[in-house]
Chain A
């Protein structure tokens, strides 16, 4: 069943004197239980696309359909985790998870219960009253994940969620995210992740959507047909084949890209 449909999305940023075309006619759809990754060179508009899906930015033309209905502004059903975590430094871990629930009008006791249970789920029991300042990068992102999940969204958007973490921490958190995705008891089962790391994308996704340099378009998609959990297949030729395929498409689209004059801002 199709959950999200992105139809002919175009986006241009207005600079002081020039216009920069960021996204050009982007269309794709995501089904329930799917894990989709967007990869592309830096500056290709993949983060902008994610923000348009989240309702944080408006597309110039085109639309986002969520269960067939146009989606224009942020909704608790589609939520996001950020590259730099986006935690409020002036709130404890628990309070950070509670904020969105408070906005929804939940009572203090209920939202504290919920927030605590999600913090427990991401392995942060005992850190409820710690401020982000005193948490490690990995722990901060765990809070970010708990905060997003506490809203019980259907779609989870992730903007390079592991790229500001060290590789070992990133590895552990990737497994945590995949566990959450597979967990049937959680309503969150449709994931879209932006990454510039092809191996990471191939490891996690069912489908890897490859974007061209700016203005970003979807040039191709690579289906990853590896059984899950994929921990055992990290040395499998099929895994490397998928990676090579994606990289080849990326290289090719780079060469075909039109004049690069606007890329100095990348």
Chain B
């Protein structure tokens, strides 16, 4: 019964996608439209291969880092720091490296795209694995030891089953990340020259910037979203269903639409159902923040800066010259750095405030009323499947037609940021509201809390810790997006063939990475990356860590 239904969904989905491809290919006028299946294949292949590499890397290094003390001391803080630097921030450096390695050939872009995807995928898997191994209950570890399970046997019978759910959820996150970064990775403008590798992302970018065709861009976006949704339901959902049967539960669940079915019973049973989709990995983020002392972070920072410089200078063979150092800080724009930082932070702040308000309203309503859940859960499912960066060209065309180039870009940046930040907040808020213990809700009911009083006295305080973790994650992804969104290097003829930029840290970083010297400068690039890392770490230490400590007490112990 269930199997037939799945088969029906599987075939129907495939049918819909094939038909839409056929329709698009036959009725859209574009010189490249016949290559659409090939582009799809290339993108899928690229993401799948990188995912495979990330899984192998994440599992082996994750096991290494959590079983060998030395490896853990070196690896974990190092990767944690790499994780806190926005991936798109070091993308220019990666492009620089590979393009000079392959002397400007397309293979260089292919490699840098895969490395970008890898860095976006591998961390989620690595930390999922490390967290899962650390989370193996002591009684299981001890009983395994008492039965003499050591070495490879221990890995096979204890570690592998324990990391499996984390691996599935990590791979799911990685998969989504892959689609997120696809458009940034496949279409690069470097030293005034456009490099693109065949794929859906680059085709979408071309549709927008080269052909300036809004209809085609929207259609491509819809197609991409449909493929992502289809593959999500086809693979990850089923894998997750399978793992949740075991003792170890999956850490997260993508796709909220299924939950409503659990919610029809009395409070006690509802509570049991809610445990299943509690997002552990989101809560883990708060634990990672608390793990290191400042000294450890400083060491990790120095280590990674040394490593990055090593990669750039020694492998490429560019030993930094005195001239380069001089150029790095002689740039006229350099003095604007504080203003740029403030502008970028301002954009992030505005977008954060908007997404917090919307996510709070939507999340509380969805968690408390089934009617709203029926509307918001599907929106969430689709919303988080849309690769946000792929929305960028479409919004840019729309808004620049409405508001003109510069202001259009400003609006696009904010809207994209909101759409990017909102889902982490929403997911965290929904699961936190659902996880308020039934006893707590009963107390509110018993003492007559209603309406606004209930929200301010009960719901909001109960979900504050979750709001903080959600905020940390949204800012993390926000940094990536803004580096992409402040800079429009594509020579759209409408705007005089000039690159469009918003003054800010993100665009300055892009210019430093992608433009020819003296604007482009590897040393300044490293310096700016350092500035971003410092800002991220400062916010962590001064804002998030304090809030987390303050709200830790609010966490309801069950």
Chain A contact residues, CB within 8 Å of chain B: 13-16, 48, 51, 54-57, 74, 79-80, 82-86, 88-91, 99-100, 103-104, 131, 133-134, 265
Contact = CB atoms under 8 A, between A and B. Distances in A.
A84 B437 contact: yes
Contact of B439 (A15, A54, A86): A86
A86 B443 contact: yes
A104 B437 CA distance: 24
B556 interface: yes
Interface stretch (B178-186, B261-269, B339-347, B372-380): B261-269
13 contacts: A14-B265, A74-B448, A80-B442, A82-B439, A88-B440, A89-B461, A90-B464, A99-B457, A100-B447, A103-B447, A103-B448, A133-B552, A133-B557
A119 to B, nearest CB: 17
Interface string B530-558: 00000000000000000000001111111
A48 B264 CA distance: 17
A84 B558 contact: yes
B449 interface: yes
Contacts of A265: 269
A100 B442 CA distance: 13
Contacts of A55: 446
A79 B449 CA distance: 14
A69 B6 CA distance: 54
A15 B458 CA distance: 28
Interface in B504-546: none
B553 A133 contact: yes
A226 B98 CA distance: 88
Contacts of B414: none
B453 A90 contact: no
Nearest to B262: A16
- Nearest 3 A/B pairs, CB to CB: A90-B461, A100-B447, A86-B443
Contacts of B464: 90
B65 interface: no
Contacts of A131: 553
Interface residues of B, number: 29
Given A16-B261, A16-B264, A51-B442, A89 B458 contact: no
Contacts of A48: 266
Contacts of B556: 89
Contacts of B457: 88, 99
B287 interface: no
Nearest to A151: B447
B446 A83 contact: no
A83 B448 CA distance: 20
Contacts of A56: 442, 445-446
A57 B266 contact: yes
B442 A13 contact: no
B177 to A, nearest CB: 34
A100 B448 contact: yes
B445 A90 contact: no
Given A13-B265, A74-B448, A99-B447, A89 B442 contact: no
Interface of B: 261-262, 264-266, 269, 437, 439-440, 442-443, 445-449, 453, 457-458, 461-462, 464, 552-558
Contacts of B446: 54-56, 74, 79-80, 100
Nearest to B551: A90
A80 B447 CA distance: 10
A133 B458 CA distance: 16
B445 A13 contact: no
Nearest to B273: A16
B305 to A, nearest CB: 39
Contacts of A99: 447, 457
Nearest to A131: B553
A82 B442 contact: yes
B276 to A, nearest CB: 14
Contacts of B445: 56, 74
Contacts of B443: 82, 86, 88
A48 B446 CA distance: 14
A169 to B, nearest CB: 17
B460 to A, nearest CB: 9
A265 B273 CA distance: 13
Given A74-B448, A99-B457, A15 B265 contact: yes
A175 to B, nearest CB: 25
Nearest to B437: A84
A88 B447 contact: no
Given A88-B458, A103-B448, A14 B439 contact: no
A252 to B, nearest CB: 27
A89 B264 contact: no
B553 A89 contact: yes
Nearest to A159: B439
Contacts of A104: 448
Contacts of A80: 442, 446
A216 to B, nearest CB: 14
